[in-house]
Each structure stands twice: as structure tokens, then as C-alpha cells.
Structure 1
């Protein structure tokens, strides 16, 4: 039979059968006819545990057992065919049937109806009930009941009652149990206590609550009546009720969901329930059928073995082992549940049959070197796509499994039926790639960075966990993209800044090569006057001189246009090529954007919208082509196509010809005109130089303005980078708020890495002058990467140092140029830091053990995957208080969300986390008691409630005792953990 430990099954605690002592409305003619219907309905409704109920009797329970024992021989009286299919027979024979004795007791309810209390007995205890139970109960008058009816009371009815059966029925109708005698029985019989679970009804009609609900604390009741009802609650283990208020109240969660509800309020409520009601209690429901029509129309989900010991667990785990609902609790997708694992070991080194796993918490226990971690490691190695975490500190495999058995392999099968081998084709992807594996000491290394020099920093781990969410990952990737773009823009701007600076220096150097402006202007004036004098000597009239000056002016203007033409052509040619490159980049970005859209309609829409980019590219290419020059054989350049520059140069050349023709009449005296030419050339040259000086000065002003603007842009980009860090913190905040319910707070902060900046600046600075010492705020060796800072102060100091490096006042090493110094200064030293606190304690100030637990909470709580979590000894370095208060509570809650497999040697994790499935590992030869098992590494599994005393005759160690006994025998503090669990839930009642 498949054993996955404690599993959810439908239980019906309260169902009557034909012949019940009160209110028998069953219409079946015979018991066989009734039980056929009864068990058919149980099968159809998948009810696997049934409490056969009757008033002051277990006879109907015995009838049901008798029927099941003969079920394979039951045939249809008409056709002779077997009544049940083989599948139905197998199901029915495995139903856990137990007796439920229903009693009535005082005090009466407001409707004068007696309170119903149910005694659910261990079937193994049935043979003792006559002596230990029925024979000890008395009513309020001190009378007892037996199979003949009420003792003494029956004598009074002899004249009217013909049979013992009628007298017994009458006795049952009138027998009201006395609370005092029941308490006396409970106090005086330990065996009775261990084999009985008392369930009280909590309805207004026949329950203990009466008119007043229990959460009103019977404010208006008489003190003695309230005391009686309180006593009834205190001796009860469970409540029959489907009222949501009852369910929450008896679990100590009446105020759950209210405003300001917190852990302290919960603890106070739990304490009040325990003080007033004796213990936390589960609420149950049964169909309470008295006719065939209502059979199994109600049921309770119970997570337990189909045994009385399994049922008894609901007293210790009233919330997590009991659910009243239609659908099966703890739903998890089958694809993320490991159903079973199997060692493939041809040489019989490992158990070669399947080990089944529970969908909740599975713990692996065993002695030293028993194969606990090998099993967990094998699961991880089979499923993890990235197996770096499986390696030791020296990058070796932790276990060489092939060396144990050369034919070794390991198989995992998911609940959805998909199997996978450890050793398989490399192309075969993992069936559960998102599992989390936390090997031994992994948490400690994260908690103590000095032990984790080769490992991942904790902050990086937290970031990766936050980004498991697809939306968060997308946002973070976009953030990284933006920051990298800003880095590139900032670097480009710094390059541009120093290019501008170089250009300014070149302009200044060029200006120094030019003559003095005043000298040039004086020379032009003097030479112009000389030209006039020479023209007079050549016999030119005043009118001719005026005309000559006019023509000379036109020539100077035309020459100026020629120079401007050259500058404009050069500028246009270079700029168009640069713009063309930018449009090429823009076009590439457009194509990347379009190709990233999956929906064809949206893609088409943006293709049309962005056609203008393609059109622009075409236009720019046409403009570049339009002004291309070609050279002839003599090297003379000319335009191949018509354009504005061709038109302009044609105009300049035509004007030059006209001016030259106009100058010919004034060139009468060759010697004088030669002198005039020399002077005019000098004038023209000086004017050209003046123009160049003016142009250079204008360019210098423009370059200086661009330099100032470039610096502003550099720091605007720096602002944008910081704002990106601020924004990503805001964007990811939602991923961390869910953890606050567990007392864990993750606060995202934009930090500045002072340490890295100081190190980088120190390395490039001239230590003899040590200018970095002048900036104690930003270059402070004592500051940490997580030190607080104000962005405005950081930025102001960076701007100041920027200027100091650029003007040479900040001494850097000769081998480092200023541009590289600025890039180092303005590198991105920001980072997203995730400050972690647990119940107001900062992670960095915790003990290693507590920090390890908090990191475990982070890994589990932030992980969005619902695939299994594998943990090897999470209790390492945790004190026992932290284990019992924190780790146990956390595992109990998280196992409801995803499957967990834990290797542990701590009993509190096993017992008080209420592990559903315990896997016991053993290696032959490693224990004082030798085992007859044929395997070197052997395993057995089952539920905590699986209990059987040690059988000294059984030589196979794992089979020689129950799971509970293995826990007590193997795990540290096993017996104490069980006692602590029972004490915590007050299973031994305070009956005073």
C-alpha cells in the first residue's frame, strides 16, 4: 500500500445505522440491504473513515464490522452476482471504522434539551468498554445502565414491558449522564483517557453553548450553570459545529482579520481559550444520518493516518489537520509536487523501491552517515539546472554516488506522472527547474560574509529572489538597461566635454599664431591709403578712384563669400555624415522595438507610425549624395549633381570674373599697379586674418558655452541615474510587503558605495599632495557602503572635485589623464540595498543562528516559485528557543504553500512542525544494533502517528518499530518533543 504519511481524507464522525437506539428512520428491510446502501454511498463519496454512532451502545458498530468481514461473499439474492466490484471491496475493507457512543448530559439547553456528548473510541479498546466505561456511568440519580435497562428503574416497568429490549430502549431514552461521574471516570482511568476522544455538540438545540454563544462568556448566566458548561468544554477534545465563529474561537483566532490584529492579540486569545475551555479544539462535522437519504452528505477533512492514533493528532494540531470544506485542502499543482523517488542501484547499495513523498512537509531523519543528506542531495542533483550550489568549497561533487554503486541512478516522478533520471541526456531539461536547495551551512555562510568569500553576497541573493517575479524581473531589467544607457551617455558626454576642452585649447593656440588685431587694422588702413596715393600717381581721377574703391570692396566681399563657402561646405559635409550615423542608430533601435512586439496588429500600427525614420534615413542619404565631389585629370574638383553649393560657387566664380573685368580699366601703369596689387593682397590677407580672429573668438565663446552646458548635462545624467535607483526601489516594494505578516521587513534603499569610490580615487591620486583628504564627506575612509548620505551633498562635492580635476588643482598621477580621472569620479557608485529586519532586530546585529533563520525566511518567502524546497539541517546554529518559536512556526505555515523536504536531527522540527511524512534513513554497520536489511542504505517512511512498540524479534532495524518510536530513538530530544507538543495543546485536561 502506498504510504505518503499523513494525508487529507474525508471522515464522517457521526452517522447512525439501521437499528439505532433512538429515532431510527432507516427504511431498508434488512441489515444487509442497509449496509449495501451504506457502503456504496461511502465509496461514491470517497469517505475513508466512519464513526458508527449509537446511544449508549456499540452494537451497531459491531454490525458494521461483521458486514465488512463478509463483504467478499455478499451476492445479489436475485442474480447471484457479487454485490461489490473488486475496487469497491478493496476500498471498503480499508475504511477506518470506529465506534462513537452518543450520550446526553446536563445542564439542559435553553430549549430544555439535553447536551449531546460523543465518546469516540479506539477500536482496539472496544473489548474493555463494558468494564471501563459502560459499567461506571451513572445518571443524576446515581442509577446505572446495562443491557437490561436502568437498574432499579426497570423493575418498576415489569408490568408494562414485555422484553429486555424494550426496557433497554426505554432506559436509553431516559438515561442522562452525570458530569461528575464522567469526570471521575476520566480522572481515574488513564487507559480510558488514551483511547477516547470526547466531542461535545455546540448547537443551540443540543449543544453546550445554549442560547449564549461561548464567545460571550455566558455573561447573563447563573454562575453555577456557567461553571458546569465550562467544565464540559474542559473535558472535551473537539467540538461538533460548522459555525465559522465557533471554528475561529476554538482555534484562538476570533479576532483574526480585524483591524490591528497581530501576534500579541493572537497569543492573548489562545491563552484565554486554553484557560476558559481547557485547550484549543478542532471543530468537526458528521452527517448525523438517521435515514438513508442523508448518508454522508456532510464530512470533515482530516489529515492523518486511518487509525485512532492518527485521529488523536487533531487534538495537537486542531487548525492544520482539520478542515470543514467541500474541496480537498492544501491544493498544490501536481506538476510542482514530487510524488515519489527511487534509487536505481543494481548492486543493492540503496533501497530499490519507491519512497513516496507528501505534498507538505517531509523530514528525513537518521543517525550519523545514515544517508539522510544523500537522499536530499540526489533530489537536488536530479532537478537543479544550475548545479554550482551542489559543489564543495573546492568545486568538487559532495557525493560520488557512482563510486558507491557503478550502476547508480536516481529517478524522480512528479504527481502529474512525469519522471526524470539524474543521469540523462544533456538536452533534457529539468521537470522542476525552480526548486530551491539549501545545503548544510549555506545559510551560515550567507549570515557570516567572512565565511562566504567565494559565495554570493546576501544582497545579491535577496535581489535575485525579489526578481523571481516576472513583473519585478522585467522592471529590474529595464532599470539595468536605463542605468547602462545613462552610463554610456555620461561617458559620451565626458568624452565630449574633453573634446570641447581640447578644441578650446586648439582655438586659443591658433589665436596665438595670429597677428595682433590692432596691428592688422592699422596695417589695412595704412595700405589702403597707399593704394589711393599710387592710383593718383597713375593718373586716376577722383571719380575713377571712387569707382576703383567700390570695385575693390566688391572683390573683398566676394573673397569673403568664397571663404564662407568653404567653411559651410566642410561643416555641412561632416554634419550630414554624423546625422546619417545617428539616423542609422535610430533605425536600428526602431527595428529592435518593432521586432520585439508579438501582436501583429500592434506591430503593423507602429511600423506605419515610425516609417518617418526610414524616410528620414533616405532623405539624409540623398543629401550626402547630392554634395559629393569628383576630381578631373588635373585634380580639379567639381560637383556631380546640382545643389545649393554648386549654385553658390557658380555665382562666386561669375562675380569674380565680372570684378576682374571691372578692374582692368584702372590698371594703366604696370609698375604702379604691381605695387597696388601687393598692397591689395596684403590688405586682403589682413582682412582675412581679422575675419579668422573674429571667427575663432566666436567659436571660443560658443565652445565655452557648450562646455558649460555639457557639464550641466553630465550632472543631469548623474541625477537621472540616482533617480533610477530611487524608482526601482519603489517599483519592487510590493514584492516585500507580504513578508511583514511573518515579522520580516525588507526595506529597499538607494546606497552610495563610499568604500569603492575612496579606493578608486586613492589609486589614481598623487599621494604626496593627497588632495582627497580635503573632502572628508565624500572621501572618508571610515565610511561604509551602507552609510547614510544626502544626495545633494554628494553631488555638490562631486561637482567641486570635477572642476578641481579639470583645472589641475586636484593632483592625480601623471599616468592618469584627467578625462579618465573624471570617469572614475563620476562612475555609478549607487546600488540598491535591501535592509532586513526581523521583529525590529537588524540582520547585521543578530546572532549567526538567528540570521540564518531570517535568511531562510527570505529564500522561502520571496521565492515566487511553488516548486519544492530542499533544506539540509536548517537548525544548525539556532538555539532551541529559536527553533521551537520561530523555525517550527514558519515551516508549519510555509508547507501549506509548497512542498518542503528537510533533513534534520532536531525533534522539534519533526514533531512540533507536525511533519506529514517522516523518512527514516539507515546505513548498515553505522548503528549499535545491526540490521538484516539487504541494502547498505535503507529507508522507510510514514506518519508521526505511525506507532508500534519495538519488536525485538524483527532483525530488520527499520521495520522493528513504528515511525514514532524511530523519532524518539534517533532524533535529539525526541521524547521531550512529543511531551512538549502534548503539553502545549493541553491534551491532559485540567479537570478541577
Structure 2
């Protein structure tokens, strides 16, 4: 069975001589059989698929070659009588496309005195007409017949002094034709124009470059020669040359397409052949041609000289086998669907057909079989686009990759897709993506661009790190807001405590008064001056001890709180460290920082130990520290001092009544001093609290700016990912934007509508502002601060059920987002037509996608005008197919023809058009190259087999015939 994938890359040898060639025959084989055995063995080993059998002024060697191939099954080794070729070699050789290459010499001569080599490559299907339409007509215009006797006569005429056996060689070496006569013959002979291609040598010794050298030396005297050079080029279709200079010039890369067409008539492909005259050089040079193996396929290189011809060793358009769909197959036991394999080309496959012909079903089946995420396969109502089981209850579909891996649509849910990251763009999908952007919403498209940027692992890691930072900012912001309102509550508590304390002046007056009374009572106790001084000193120490004990208690509580917060902080640090280290790819890097950052674990352990030290145990009524720590030591010291003071004061306490009075007064003094100390502490706390509130406020807005900078930074880091698109004049500018509508909505929902405080900030809060409106961070930050202050100071009216803390959380939420502004050819996406915007989105999907897996597109031309299709879409598909396999459903002739689709799949549903078909399938398919052409065969009742692929295109696709004409005219052919 012949496998047809359309226009495939094959090795062609355009110029090879065989034994018995009319000139310079250096082949050493003793017989023709021996020669052709060597010839075809070499072709087989070098994987040559097409051969131009070349001879001077003759096709006799071509006929010899064809005859040998026709008898190849019967060829035996004369020594052992075994077959010369095995079965695989025979099959291969019989499928080699062999065509005649007639080499002529034309005048004028080059600077080196050589005639120019000109080749006619003929359609072998018309070989029986060549004698009359070509050779006889050449003889008529020159007077010499193209045969042995005529050439001998010509040699004898030129040099009669030669020996008889030398006349033929001399005649061949010197026989030439004026190019003007050949030009007239071709222009007057439709057969030659339709069935031959002219190839001209570009070498300097026997090619047109030799004429150019001659012209450049005698430019002032050779105006007619320049006309001859242009005339030769304009009548030629192909250039024999492998120089980079020629390849660049004839493709318009060196100057311009217009200039080349002006000077040479058309862009031209450059090809090479081995030009062998000995066995040792057979097939040592070749040209890669992308076409079917026929004359029409060869003609395609003239229409697409850049992409259909490559002179290089390796096969062009390399793609990994694992990401190429090699073939697909419907499993349809009831013959609802075509059941044979449908082969695909690694480049561009186009599916055409009439209405409801099954073209979109084929594309959908590929997508459904491979896509792991099914959402894009469904309509807006969440139903599948095609209920294939309702068409055929036993329906299944199978895909096989170039790597030989197969997968069916119906399979176990655990079986992952063999090509999970292909792109499927269903009909109208691009329009739906474009419309939100045109309506200034833009969120789905923005997410799409972001997801495409993240397809590159390097940039995905960067974006994930950014997200982690932003989420940490969210947590830190919440912590700061919690702290801020805790500080506000603390301030209220301190102020309330201060209000409950006595007046400071009253306390100081009372202390002085009571101290004087104590002094008088002590005198009444009979204490002398020295005793009074000592007693007073002990009393002061006792009061100080009470104050120190109070300070000990305060310090203990504060230290406990500090250790608790630090423990919480280190827990967060450890989590962040572990998550980051887990994502590091390089083992050496991970091990280094795992070791170095163990210091966090040491800190955590130390904090846990310190917290444990401060735990107080209880034993009945007794409380005690079980572990040694500074607080325990200090408490023990205070207890000892208290016992000492109580012992020291006993001798001075003789009169119980007086001592009771002194004790009461001392207690009052102690209490008043304690109150004074508490007032001082509260006043200091109030000052410190105000400082903390201010610092926390500043930290909140420093973090607010940090969050914004995270967006600025990630946009800068992702910029490189979009630069490559600029070669297609597509530009993506990342911008840190602010979601004004979301802020308006959220504040509106918590605000008292009667007072509508949100209306006081029109530059920030406005129901008509869009998420894509200009974002000026400093202005936004200033407005946010103003609203913040107004909420705290009761100048912003909230709903009764909404507290200030919640309002601040809403206000300070992260409303920033990374927005990707798109321009194409200096037009902004939001200002384009829906159709053009759809095309730009298609460019984004393909251009940004890092994957090399296939792209499936259903009718990308929808809503595009013809100019956008021919100028933009066709050009884009034509270049992108070199990077990824593309499968397109279309009804536009320009996409089919001018994007030079390698493989055209024609779909037909029986009964859907005026032409009936005897195919056994309801949904039928056929595929092939656009150069596959033959007129409608009225005796063939199977519609798809009744005409060539080219004829199907012309009949099915509107404007098909015109598209072919435009393609052939594009480069002046």
C-alpha cells in the first residue's frame, strides 16, 4: 500500500550521466548491466528518490535507463545466476522517479571561451512526443539533425583535417545553438512550455556568470550582451548552483524580490546534481525537494523556491518524532466513517470539504483524543461540540505518532495523553478571546498570554516565585493590619487605664504629707536622729523592692510574648526555606543552601529552649520555675532581700499602735508611689504605642509599594520571553495595572450608601474606570492613604455591620495585576476589528507557545478580510509550519494554496452535495499534495477518487482556481 502524506522531502539528483553518454564518458563498467547494477545500488544506498538522466542533445540514455528498470526483476548475476537486487531494492528502484534531462550548449560564449550549459527537464509522461515537438524542431531551426551522423558531419564541417573517428567527439564538443532560437521555439510551442522546465548553469566557466564577467569587463561596448543575460535568466526556471551568493540572490535575499524579478523574470530555485561521468562520483551530490514524485511536483519548486528546495546533507524541517502525528484512523465498524489510515505531513495539513462534510469532526477527534483538559472541547452550554457516539454508537478514534506510539480516544482514565500539550483552537474561539479585549475587559486573554509565557520552564519558575512573594505579601499585610488594630486597641486600653489613675499632683502631695507624718510618728516612737535615718533608709529600700518586683513581673510577661512571636516567625521562615529548597533543580545548589540555612533550625531550637525555661510549674499552692533562668534567679534574690529587710526593720517597731499607723501611712506612700510609677509607665507606653502605630502604618504602605514593585519586577523578568515575536511585528508590553472596577465594587458593598463616602475620591473610585485605565502608582498610593486615614478617623461612613479593620483589609487588598498590552504593526489590539484581533491572538498562541506539539485550528480565517488572510495569515502559517505541525480546517483558497500546504485532506459526507458517490462510507476522506492533479474521470463513481487533489481544491474551495493563478504569478513565474 502506498503511503501518501502529500509533498514530502525527497533526495533528487537533477544531473547524472550514464554509460555511453555523448560527451566525456569515463565510466569503466564493461557492460551496461554492470553499470546499471552499480548505478542503482548507489541510488538505493544514498536514498535517492528522483533522477534526471542527462545527455547531450539526446534522451537515448534515459530510454536505456527506463528499459533497464522495466526488466529489473529479470536481471541476474552472470556468475552465479542469482538476482542482482533483493526484493526491497527492486521495490525501491521501481519507485524512483526518472526523468530526462537534455543538456544543450548555447552561444554566446563566456569570458573563458566556453558555451553555456542549458538543460531541458522534461515531463517523462510525454516522452513519446519529444521527437516531434522538440528534437525535430531544434533540427529545423539549426539545420542539423540530433543524431550520430549529423553530429559527425558537423564535426567534419568544422575541422575536416581530423581522423574519421574524431569527427563525432569534435562535433559534440562544439555543437551549440543560439539562445535566441531556443527562446523563439519555447515561446511558440505550448507543449514545451507545459512539459519542460529550463535549468541554466550559473558557473563562471560554462554558465551565465561567465557572460556577466565578460559584460562587466567590456560594459561600455556590450549593451546587447546584458540583454542576452537577462533574456536567458527570464526564460530559465531553475539555476544549477550551490553557492550561497546565488541562492541568496535568486531568492531576493541579497537585494529585493522586486529587483530580482525585474532582472531575471522570477525568483528561482537553485539545485545541484552530481554531474557524474564516472562510477566513483555517482550521487555524491543531491538536492532535497519537497513534492510528490512527478513533473507537476517538480514544477512546484518554481512557485515556492525558498521552502521547497534545500541543498544540504540532513533532511530539512527537522521535528521530534514524539510530537508529530503520523497518522489517524476512525474506528467505525458500521462504515459510518472512513476506516483506512489518514496520513499527516509534519508541516501544514489543510482539511477542506463542503458544508457538514466531516472536516471539523476530524479535527475535533484529534483534539479529543489527545487533550487532557476537556473544557475547550465543549460549547457555551457545556455540551460537547460533537456527540460522536450519537453519529456512530461504536465510534472510536486512534492516533499514532511518528515515534510509533498509538492512543485511542476511548481509553482508561489513568492513561495519559501521548501529546498532552498540543494546541486546539476551535471555530470562533479566537473571536471569543478577542471580544473581551475589544470591550476593555481583557481578563481571559490576559490569562492566556500569561499561561503561554509560563510554558517556558525558566519563566514558569520566575512567575511561581513572584506568586509566592505576592502571597507572602498578602500574609504580611494581614499581619501588619492585625498588629495595627491591636496597637489601636492597646492605645485605647492605655488611655482608659490612665483615666482610672489619680491625679499625679495629688499623689505627689499625698506622698509628701504622709512621709512627714511617718517621720513625726517615728519621733514619737522615741527614735533618735540616727535611728530615724536608718529606719527611713530601710523603708525606702522596701518601697524600691516592691517596685523592682513589679518590674520583674512586667519583664516576664513581655519576654514570654517576645519568644512566642519569634517562634511564630521562625516557623514561617522554615516553611519558606523548605518550599524554596524543594523547588531547586540542581542537587549541588540544594545541598549547599540546605547546609547553610540550617542556622534557622538552630534558632528555632534555641527559642524553644528559652520558652521552656520560662514555664512555671504548680505544686498545690506553690508555683516555681523548674529550669534555671534569669527570672528565677532574680525572683530568688528579691525574696531574700525581702526577708532581710523584714528582719532589719523589726527593732524599730516597738509601739504596736504607732507601728500600725506608720504601716498604714507607708502602705499609702507605697501605693501612691506605685500609682505614680504606673502613670509614668502608662504615659511612656502611650508614647511608645503612638510610635509603634506610626511605624506600623509606614510598614503597611512600604509593603504596599513592595507588592506593586513585585509586579513591575516580574514584568521586566518576563520581557525576554516576548522579544522573539517582534520579528513578526507583534509586540507585547507588560504593564503593572490596577483593577479600579474591583476596588469600586468592594468598597461600594461595605459603604453606607446614604452618605456614599466613596464619591469623595473620584480619581480612584469611579464606577466608569476600567481595569486597563492608566495606572499611576504614586497617585493611587496617596489616595489609598487618604481613605485609610478617613476610615480610622471616622470620616468615611461604613455600613453598621462593617468594622474598620475589615474596611482596611478591603481597601488594602492586592488590586494590582500584570497586564499584557499587544500591538501588531503599530495597531493596538483593542482598536482592531474582531477578525484582525482574532488573527493577532492566533499569532500569540503560536508564537508564545514553547511547546513543539501540533497546532489544530478550525477556520482561522473567520471574520478576517481577504487582505489580512493573504498578507498576514498565509505568511504566518507558511513560516510557522516549519517549526510545528499544523492541522487547519478552512474554506479559504488562499490558506490552502498560498500557504503552500504540504498535505490536503478532502472530506465528504454522502448526500450533502449534488454529486453522488458510491463510497461505502457516510463520512469519507482522501488526502494528497496540491500537485496531485488529473481531470475529472466521469467513469469513476467514487466522488473523492474521481479527480485530483488540485481539482478538488478548485471545485470545493471558493476562489480555488484564482488562488492557483495568483500563486503562479507571485514570483513572476
Q: TM-score, normalised by structure 2?
A: 0.96
C-alpha spacing 1:389/1:845, structure 2 compared with 1 (3 Å) = same
Equivalent residues of 1:361, 1:899 under 8 A apart: yes
C-alpha spacing 1:157/1:672, structure 2 compared with 1 (3 Å) = closer
Equivalent residues of 1:107, 1:229 under 8 A apart: no
Measured against aligned partners, the alpha-carbon deviations of 1:7-33 in whole angstroms (never above 9, x if no partner) come to: 000000011111111111111122111
CA distance in 2, matches of 1:86, 1:659: 120
SS in 2 for 1:184: helix
Measured against aligned partners, the alpha-carbon deviations of 1:769-826 in whole angstroms (never above 9, x if no partner) come to: 3333332322234432112232222222222222222112222222221111111111
Structure 1 position 82, deviation (Å): 0.5
CA distance in 1, matches of 2:461, 2:528: 87
Larger mean CA deviation between 526-535 and 18-27 belongs to: 526-535
CA distance in 2, matches of 1:674, 1:546: 20
Structure 1 position 161, deviation (Å): 9.4
Q: Which one of the candidate residues 265, 268, 273 is aligned to 2:260? A: 273
CA distance in 1, matches of 2:568, 2:209: 85
Equivalent residues of 2:16, 2:54 under 8 A apart: yes
Q: Which residue of 2 aligns with 1:265?
A: none
Task: Kindly indicate whether residue 341 of structure 2 is the aligned counterpart of residue 374 of structure 1.
Answer: no
Task: Kindly indicate whether residue 65 of structure 2 is the aligned counterpart of residue 64 of structure 1.
Answer: yes
Measured against aligned partners, the alpha-carbon deviations of 1:124-168 in whole angstroms (never above 9, x if no partner) come to: 2222222221222269976665564169858959998999x9866
Q: Write out aligned runs for 1:757-772 (5 A).
A: 757-772=743-758
Q: Write out aligned runs for 1:769-848 (5 A).
A: 769-848=755-834
Q: Which residue of 2 aligns with 1:31?
A: 32
RMSD: 2.4
CA distance in 2, matches of 1:220, 1:348: 75
Q: Which residue of 2 aligns with 1:260?
A: none
C-alpha spacing 1:424/1:187, structure 2 compared with 1 (3 Å) = same
C-alpha spacing 1:345/1:826, structure 2 compared with 1 (3 Å) = same
Larger mean CA deviation between 221-230 and 734-743 belongs to: 221-230
Equivalent residues of 2:436, 2:443 under 8 A apart: no
Equivalent residues of 1:923, 1:938 under 8 A apart: yes
Equivalent residues of 2:108, 2:178 under 8 A apart: no
SS in 1 for 2:719: helix
Q: Which residue of 1 aligns with 2:280?
A: 293
SS in 2 for 1:18: coil
Equivalent residues of 2:440, 2:830 under 8 A apart: no
Equivalent residues of 1:139, 1:177 under 8 A apart: no
Equivalent residues of 1:349, 1:936 under 8 A apart: yes
Task: Kindly indicate whether residue 655 of structure 2 is the aligned counterpart of residue 669 of structure 1.
Answer: yes
Q: Which residue of 2 aligns with 1:259?
A: none
Q: Write out aligned runs for 1:443-462 (5 A).
A: 443-449=430-436, 457-462=444-449
CA distance in 2, matches of 1:62, 1:600: 68
Equivalent residues of 1:138, 1:178 under 8 A apart: no
Structure 1 position 245, deviation (Å): 0.8
Larger mean CA deviation between 572-581 and 510-519 belongs to: 572-581
CA distance in 2, matches of 1:577, 1:792: 37
Q: Write out aligned runs for 1:377-456 (5 A).
A: 377-449=364-436
CA distance in 2, matches of 1:895, 1:166: 56
Q: Write out aligned runs for 1:115-126 (5 A).
A: 115-126=116-127
Equivalent residues of 2:142, 2:177 under 8 A apart: no
CA distance in 2, matches of 1:492, 1:535: 58
C-alpha spacing 1:358/1:542, structure 2 compared with 1 (3 Å) = same
SS in 1 for 2:904: strand
**Unaligned stretches of 5+ in structure 1?**
256-268, 988-992
Structure 1 position 220, deviation (Å): 6.6
Equivalent residues of 1:135, 1:146 under 8 A apart: no
CA distance in 2, matches of 1:276, 1:217: 19
Larger mean CA deviation between 778-787 and 77-86 belongs to: 778-787
Equivalent residues of 1:116, 1:201 under 8 A apart: yes
Equivalent residues of 1:348, 1:936 under 8 A apart: yes
Task: Kindly indicate whether residue 491 of structure 2 is the aligned counterpart of residue 504 of structure 1.
Answer: yes
CA distance in 2, matches of 1:944, 1:153: 46
C-alpha spacing 1:152/1:613, structure 2 compared with 1 (3 Å) = closer
SS in 1 for 2:288: strand
Q: Which one of the candidate residues 716, 723, 728 is aligned to 1:730? A: 716
Equivalent residues of 2:198, 2:235 under 8 A apart: yes
CA distance in 1, matches of 2:687, 2:440: 54
CA distance in 2, matches of 1:454, 1:527: 78
Equivalent residues of 1:148, 1:154 under 8 A apart: no
C-alpha spacing 1:390/1:532, structure 2 compared with 1 (3 Å) = same
Measured against aligned partners, the alpha-carbon deviations of 1:390-438 in whole angstroms (never above 9, x if no partner) come to: 0111111111212222221111000010000000011111000010000
Structure 1 position 540, deviation (Å): 2.8
Measured against aligned partners, the alpha-carbon deviations of 1:484-526 in whole angstroms (never above 9, x if no partner) come to: 1011101110110111111011101110010111111111111
Q: Write out aligned runs for 1:939-950 (5 A).
A: 939-950=925-936
Q: Which one of the candidate residues 509, 524, 531 is aligned to 1:544? A: 531
Structure 1 position 90, deviation (Å): 0.5
Q: Which residue of 1 aligns with 2:557?
A: 570
CA distance in 1, matches of 2:430, 2:706: 36
Measured against aligned partners, the alpha-carbon deviations of 1:413-469 in whole angstroms (never above 9, x if no partner) come to: 000100000000111110000100000010111111299999971111011011100
Measured against aligned partners, the alpha-carbon deviations of 1:53-92 in whole angstroms (never above 9, x if no partner) come to: 1111111110100110100000011110000011111011
Equivalent residues of 2:212, 2:229 under 8 A apart: no
Measured against aligned partners, the alpha-carbon deviations of 1:67-126 in whole angstroms (never above 9, x if no partner) come to: 101000000111100000111110111110000111111221110111111100001222
Q: Which residue of 1 aligns with 2:246?
A: 246
Q: Write out aligned runs for 1:202-351 (5 A).
A: 202-210=202-210, 212=212, 222-254=222-254, 269-351=256-338
C-alpha spacing 1:160/1:93, structure 2 compared with 1 (3 Å) = farther
Larger mean CA deviation between 378-387 and 775-784 belongs to: 775-784
CA distance in 1, matches of 2:331, 2:511: 104
SS in 1 for 2:177: coil
Q: Write out aligned runs for 1:889-968 (5 A).
A: 889-968=875-954
SS in 1 for 2:90: helix
CA distance in 2, matches of 1:28, 1:324: 30
Equivalent residues of 1:345, 1:409 under 8 A apart: yes
C-alpha spacing 1:701/1:532, structure 2 compared with 1 (3 Å) = same
Q: Which residue of 1 aligns with 2:510?
A: 523
Larger mean CA deviation between 960-969 and 546-555 belongs to: 546-555
C-alpha spacing 1:223/1:841, structure 2 compared with 1 (3 Å) = same
Q: Which residue of 2 aligns with 1:658?
A: 644
Count of residue pairs brought into register by the alignment: 972
Q: Which residue of 2 aligns with 1:870?
A: 856
SS in 1 for 2:664: helix
CA distance in 1, matches of 2:751, 2:532: 69
Equivalent residues of 2:326, 2:402 under 8 A apart: yes
SS in 2 for 1:713: helix
Larger mean CA deviation between 766-775 and 350-359 belongs to: 766-775
Equivalent residues of 1:218, 1:226 under 8 A apart: no
Larger mean CA deviation between 439-448 and 818-827 belongs to: 818-827
SS in 1 for 2:875: helix
Equivalent residues of 2:201, 2:241 under 8 A apart: yes
Q: Which residue of 2 aligns with 1:262?
A: none
CA distance in 1, matches of 2:298, 2:584: 57
Structure 1 position 733, deviation (Å): 0.7
Q: Write out aligned runs for 1:154-173 (5 A).
A: 170-173=170-173
